[in-house]
Amino acid sequence: MKSMKKSNHEIGSWLILFLGFYTLVIAILWIFVTEIMFVSDFAHVTGYQFSEHPDTVLAGFYILTKRLIGVMILVVALLILLINQKAYRKGEKWSWFAILIAGGVTWGTFIVYKIIIGYIGASMITFVIGTLITLIGLILSAKEMLGKN
């Protein structure tokens, strides 16, 4: 009878798959509900709500840049999902480093952004969750994937 216990790598691979979908959801939110997602960041940095800012072009530009970042996050999410399906689940060593870079740079950058603007609020939890999923998934798979030649 086959054991039902999953290896650490299998669990790590499932976490990386979840990371891909989690990142995809975040990207969709950044693209389509930008004004809701960033109302508190904008108010913290400028002292105004979007509708109250005297320079409507600046407020519009802020929204546009956040949407464009959402598109970049969407690409990262698709890469994470593709890498997981094609290589990470199979234990290919290069894919461990690719996920480290894709997940680590993406989520780490967002945490640094919040620290730089001085707004460490509840919204930062989404970035911390992304970072934790990335790290736990990588740590669980590290021994099996990096131990290979």
What angle is formed at CA 117 by the lines to CA 138 and CA 114, rounded to 5 degrees? 20
User: Is residue 67, in this structure, part of any structural domain at all?
Assistant: yes
How many structural domains are present in the chain?
A: 1
User: Is residue 93, in this structure, part of any structural domain at all?
Assistant: yes
Q: Which one has a higher pLDDT value, 4 or 33?
A: 33
pLDDT for 47 equals 87
Whole domain around residue 14: which residue ranges?
Answer: 8-142
Over the stretch 30-54, which tens digit does the pLDDT of each residue have? 999 988 878 877 887 788 887 888 8
Stated pTM of the model: 0.87
Over the stretch 67-101, which tens digit does the pLDDT of each residue have? 999 999 999 999 999 999 999 999 999 999 999 99
DSSP 8-state class, residue 38: T
User: Is residue 73, in this structure, part of any structural domain at all?
Assistant: yes
pLDDT for 44 equals 79
User: Is residue 2, in this structure, part of any structural domain at all?
Assistant: no
- Amino acid in the structure at residue 78: L
User: Is residue 148, in this structure, part of any structural domain at all?
Assistant: no
130 neighbors 80 (Cβ within 8 angstroms): no
Cα(83)–Cα(45) distance, integer angstroms: 36
Residue 26 pLDDT greater than 90, yes or no:
yes
pLDDT for 18 equals 98
